Amino acid sequence: MENIIYLHGGVGGHTDYSERVRGYAMNSMTGDSLESAIHGVLQLEDDPDFNAGTGSYPRIDGSIQMDAAVMTEKTFGSVIAIEHVRNPVLVARDVMEKSPHVMMSGDGAIEFARKMGHGFYDVSTERTLERHIKMLTKIKEGTDSLNDKEKFIRDILGFGESTGDTVGAIARINGKFAVAVSTGGSVPMLRGRVGDTPIIGCGFYCGPKGGIVTTGIGEEIAKRMLCYNIYNQIGSDSLKNILDDAVKDFGDILVGIIAVTRDEYASSANGNMSTGIHIF
């Protein structure tokens, strides 16, 4: 059985970074599935062109809260709404490996990160600040022609461009699977909003049959427990058909999926999704 590292850089972006993502996949080769998946996500978190780690998008109030998770065939760890750390995926691994918990959130996650040696880091960039200002301007301008529901979204959530960027990785090394995911969220969003990324079975899942990670509008992915449902279908059809059918169920709601099983790997999306794969 060949070893494989499969990365994605989020769905819905206007630029295709697949060549860069392929390079990150090649640089992630190790002898361990979890280390390979995490190293892939680390590179994406450190690249300001992706909405994870450095370059994460601000929320309506200007704060940046990030989610991340890791999972092996036996256990998982995740952080929710964590702030001021460079690599949330490393904190998620510490939750899994060094704490008695599997999920930590908010101030508690930040305090835990500091105790684990993760120092303060400002993940904002000039690009994300400019985008935030543009979104707020659009919200404030609004129009008189909005219906009641649209006015509510404008007044409470913001009426801006919706994005579903998330970064993720799947590794199958020596027959063992692991996944890692990280995100700055889906714009526009309130402080405290949680999407699919840190929730097991929704934005990520893996087991002895394979690994799946998703990207897109997290609320809709979570409602469907998308990754767990796909995992349970492994073997019932070709992997590509399973993913394509799952994406069709979303209609025009933004979603992307990558998956690796013991015999196959595949991806499917209804928007532009940068991906990279390395087989060795």
Catalytic residues: 166
CB atoms within 10 A of CB 87: 23
- Rounded to whole angstroms, the maximal C-alpha distance in the chain is 60
Cis peptide bond upstream of 188, omega within 30 = yes
C-alpha span between 172 and 36 (Å, rounded): 9
Tokens of 270: 């209804």
CA distance 240 to 238: 5
The residues near 225 (Cβ < 8 Å, ≥ 6 apart) are 201, 202
CA distance 85 to 107: 12
